[in-house]
Chains A and B, each alone.
Chain A
Amino acid sequence: MKALRSFLDKIKPNFEEGGKLAMFRSVFEGVETFLFVPGTTAKRGTHIHDSIDSKRVMSIVVIALMPAMLFGMYNAGYQHYLVTGNPDAGFWNMFLFGFLAVMPKIVVSYAAGLGIEFIVAQWKKEEIQEGFLVTGMLIPMIIPVDCPLWILAVATAFAVIFAKEVFGGTGMNIFNVAIIARAFLFFSYPTQMSGDAIWVAKEPILGLGNHPLIDTFTGATPLGQLATSTTQQALQLTNAVGDPLTTLDMFIGLIPGSIGETGKIAILLGAVLLLFTGIASWKTMISVFVGGTLTCLLFNQIGANPVMNLPWYDHLLLGGFIFGAVFMATDPVTSARTETGKYIFGFMVGALAISIRMIPGYPEGMMLAIILMNVFAPLIDYFVVKSNIKKRMKRVEINNCELKN
């Protein structure tokens, strides 16, 4: 470590103002602070500080995402071998296929996003902010496995620039950056981003999994099946090859869907880590589930179509509901910042997500629900803060009355 440290110290002057490589200052600083926690000491104010910092927070979230990401890779492979008629291809084959399908997306997401972050940091003469560590992992997890890489790169760049940097960087953004990338894909490339054909990788990768599709292939996600069904009755949901799905299947998550959203057990592992470390607010997370469940029960009473007839537990297990509740709604920057506000925010996200599913044409509502509530989060906080102010003003009034009497 000492050798590395002294090497960094040796090359450091090149990157400082006026140095030969000054144009890469932000990159150097990023690497340096990544390798070594800076020796900066408190000069005024508190002389001691808690060991937590934003790097630690962001890396804990990335770690929490790992189980869902690994499961997503396996599932991508599993779905491929399932629809090509080789459900017994073995765990490692499936994982390797999924890894090869997903890894390029992670690389592209990080390359596009971090590239912009480095440029902005250089331009604004600031330190590189860590927010994108999480965003860059989230984006590949909330897209279909067949999303073209160039579209992913465009969406990531759009989200980082227009949802984050123009607002002032990490901590200043109004919308969850990853969700904006997803929404951009959804609205700008509808043909590539919706329908039944994109949720399962059909083509072989590097010669791996080179088999033709079987005849029963449908590829539709369960929510897609619900949205397009024309019956009034409850619908039997199926997997990618037409076999019936049980609630347990939905929980385990070997079903078509966005890469990271299907593995509920894996997501809940991440949730445990986030809640235990206190990095995600349990108030927000629980409220999303409460809001979603109650809204489902309400629509169950109406029961006008298969979506409304689906039991609440299936609704929560399908689509990106749990993933959104655990990793997206709890983003501290874009959710409500008051403690009371978090209950309201979470409840509304859950309620809206389910409500949007009930509207024909939108199979999934989590993305739109979170975007909508991101907009309303400051308003929720406004009212919570106002009630605090009211209490204080009331005290002043009572006090003035007492003085008069």
Chain B
Amino acid sequence: MVKVIRIKRGLDIKLKGGAKDVFAKANPADLFAVKPTDFQGITPKVVVKEGENVKAGTVLFYDKKNPAIQVVSPVSGTVLAVNRGEKRKVLDIRIQSDGQFTSEPFEKAQPSDLSAEQIKERFTAGGFWSFIRQRPYDVVANPYDTPKAIFISGFDSAPLAPDYDFILVGKNEDFQLGINALAKLTAGKIHIGINTEYASKVFKETKGVVIHEFRGKHPVGNVGVQIHHIAPVNKGEVVWTVNPQDVVTIGHAFRKGILDFSRSVVLCGCCVKNPAYYKTVYGASVSTIVDGNIINAGQARYISGNPLTGTQIAADGFLGAYDAQITVIPEGNTQEFLGWIMPRLKKFSVNHSYFSWLTPNKEYCLDTNLNGGERAFIMSGEYDKVFPMDILPEFLVKAILSKDITRMEQLGIYEVAPEDFALCEFVCTSKIETQRIVREGLDFLKKEMEC
């Protein structure tokens, strides 16, 4: 009998525009972009040039500090451009697809027959390291570490998030192979967190893993919250996290001997006419999916990821490396007369000075307006209500702001990732950018600890 872990604190923001469990068809994208900025902790060294032909699995860039971390092309075609920004920072590498998806060779194998070293070589060749992230610091994993354990969250509790139990149907075999490969890399166990109510067979029938059942509100699906309740990360420890779809990608490569970076994404949000699931590839342009399917397209915000943690992209932007969700919501650049005092019946708030508590099941179409100006910390106890870890979020954020390393460590910075603070940022009366602060804190700490 699996013990159910109940999470009391949290918040489910009910948004309009959720997708039903159906796949819709869209033309395959012909333009791709891989953004080094998606891969936290990497200093990219680009190895392809404009006009070069690449296959799926051809190395595009590697990490200067750790060349084993290679990021590969998700598609076969021609490199159109390497776009750089200020100080020659690489923004993205654009690839024109040839529509063939030919792959670099990848030797078929049963992962369980291979040694850890052999698996590591395969991971490097396949560019799989870029899919594995580590705690502390929430950065791309270091292949030379042996993690204490590997954690996979089997469900996403974010607003409008994709349902993994739906998109992983029939992927049992690949998922199992991926798990077998990952199992060679850790001294400990592989933990999978599932949501009791909808738990998928893919997870339940997988062998060689420890299943944990979680119940509660968002961010219960965040892998960081699950780690905290299963086995918290202490100073000096490293754990790895992987998205379920990427486990499938890894397993698929071992089974078929080809690199196939396709994944399912959900197109959702209240600006979407027909929210649905689509098959695409990471880095693919979203335009073939969203074109013609958006209400009031000029006034819409396109997000790769969910509305809490995702990245803003253009209407013809590209799917981020770790994202399985494209959210389109209205821009909120309108000004509301005396809005702060009006009853505002259509607005959502966790605070009872609005009336949304009367209609707990109502779905809202929230726009991107900040709903106020940034202030110093005023209200207290707001963050704690949506932060289900035994960590004092406000004090941790303040320790980060004052760059006090000892205090950050004491207050548990090794356990957290920016995404865990997304709800704090959502509910914050003072509109403080907690995710940015935590990201900067993690980067700062990592830099200090490496020297």
- Interface residues of chain A, those whose CB is within 8 Å of chain B, are 1, 4-5, 33-57, 59-60, 127, 129, 131, 168-172, 276-279, 281, 332-333, 335-339, 342, 381, 385, 388-389, 391-393, 395-396, 399
Contact = CB atoms under 8 A, between A and B. Distances in A.
Interface in B325-381: 327, 329, 331-341, 344, 347-354, 366-373, 375-381
Interface string B151-174: 000000001000000000000000
Contacts of B434: 45
B341 A56 contact: yes
B201 to A, nearest CB: 33
Given A36-B339, A42-B368, A52 B349 contact: yes
B310 interface: yes
A170 B429 CA distance: 13
A127 B425 CA distance: 20
B435 A50 contact: no
A281 B380 contact: yes
A391 B331 CA distance: 44
Contact of B371 (A52, A170, A392): A52
B308 A57 contact: no
Contact of A55 (B159, B368, B372, B425): B372
A46 B435 contact: yes
Contacts of A339: 381, 384
B373 A53 contact: yes
A50 B371 contact: yes
A320 to B, nearest CB: 23
Nearest to A128: B373
A51 B349 contact: yes
Nearest to A173: B376
B369 A37 contact: yes
A41 B331 contact: yes
| Interface size range of chain B in the complex | 35 or more
A171 B378 contact: yes
A48 B337 contact: no
Pick from A45, A131, A335 the residue with the most CB of B within 10 Å: A45
Interface in B371-428: 371-373, 375-381, 384, 390-392, 394-395, 410-412, 422, 425-428
Interface string B188-219: 00000000000000000000000000000000
The 5 tightest CB contacts between A and B, nearest first, are A53-B372, A171-B376, A37-B339, A55-B340, A337-B380
Given A41-B369, A171-B377, A389-B410, A51 B395 contact: no
Contacts of B348: 50-51
Nearest to B366: A48
Given A39-B334, A54-B378, A337-B381, A49 B392 contact: no
Contacts of B372: 37, 49, 52-56
A42 B312 CA distance: 10
A134 to B, nearest CB: 11
Nearest to A52: B351
Nearest to B376: A171
A346 to B, nearest CB: 13
Contact of B429 (A37, A54, A335): A54
B13 A48 contact: yes
Given A170-B375, A333-B378, A45 B429 contact: no
Interface string B300-339: 0101000111101000000000000001010111111111
Pick from A51, A172, A391 the residue with the most CB of B within 10 Å: A51
Contact of B375 (A35, A129, A335): A129
Contact of A47 (B312, B344, B353, B373): B312
B340 A59 contact: yes
B430 interface: yes
26 contacts: A33-B373, A36-B339, A37-B335, A37-B336, A38-B335, A40-B373, A42-B368, A43-B312, A45-B434, A46-B307, A47-B307, A48-B426, A52-B372, A53-B371, A53-B373, A56-B340, A59-B340, A170-B378, A171-B375, A171-B430, A277-B351, A332-B381, A333-B377, A335-B380, A339-B384, A385-B392
Given A37-B369, A171-B430, A396 B349 contact: no
Contact of A46 (B349, B350, B422): B422
Pick from B308, B379, B428 the residue with the most CB of A within 10 Å: B379
Contact of B303 (A47, A172, A338): A47
B25 interface: no
A168 B375 CA distance: 11
B40 interface: no
A343 B336 CA distance: 39
Contacts of A332: 378-381
Interface string B27-64: 00000000000000000000000000000000000000
Nearest to A399: B234
Given A50-B427, A55-B340, A171-B376, A395 B234 contact: yes
Contacts of B263: none
